[in-house]
Amino acid sequence: MAPAAPADPIRLRDLAKKATAGGVLSADEALLLYRGLDQPSLGLLAHDVRLRINPPHADGKVRVTYIVDRNLNPTNVCVTDCGFCAFYRSPGDADAYVLPREVIYQKVEELIAKGGIQLLLQGGHHPRLDTRWFADLFRDLKQRYPQAWIHGMSPPEITHLSKLEKRPVRDVLLDLKAAGLDSIPGGGAEILVERVRKIIAPKKATTPEWLEVYRQWARLGGKGTATMMFGHVETDAERIEHMTRIRELQDETGGVFTVHPVDVPAREHRDGQGHARRARRAEGDRRRVPAHAQPRAPLPAERAARAVELRHARHEDLPDRAVDGC
Ligand code: SF4
150, 180 contact by CB (below 8 A): yes
Is 35 within 8 Å of 7 (Cβ atoms)?
yes
Specify the residue with its C-alpha closest to ligand 1, atom 5.
124
CA distance 261 to 263: 7
At 124, is the secondary structure helix, strand, or coil? coil
Give all domains of the chain, ordered by start, each with its CATH number.
Answer: 69-303 (3.20.20.70)
Q: Counting runs of H as helices and runs of E as strands, what totals does the chain give?
A: 13, 6
Residue of 67, 54, 4, 58 lying closest to 31 (CA atoms): 4
In the predicted model, is pLDDT for residue 236 greater than 60?
Answer: yes
pTM above 0.95, yes or no: no
**Per-residue pLDDT tens digits for 133-185:** 999 999 999 999 999 999 999 999 999 999 999 999 999 999 999 999 999 99
For a pocket test of ligand 1, which of 72, 80, 196 has the largest count of ligand atoms closer than 8 A to its C-beta? 80
**Nearest atom in ligand 1 to 156's CA:** 7
Q: pLDDT digit string (tens) for 261-300? A: 988 754 455 544 445 444 444 444 445 555 656 555 555 4
CA of 125 to the centre of ligand 1 (A): 7
Dihedral sign computed on CA atoms, order 176, 156, 100, 103: negative
What is the DSSP code string of 51-63? HHHS---TTSPPP
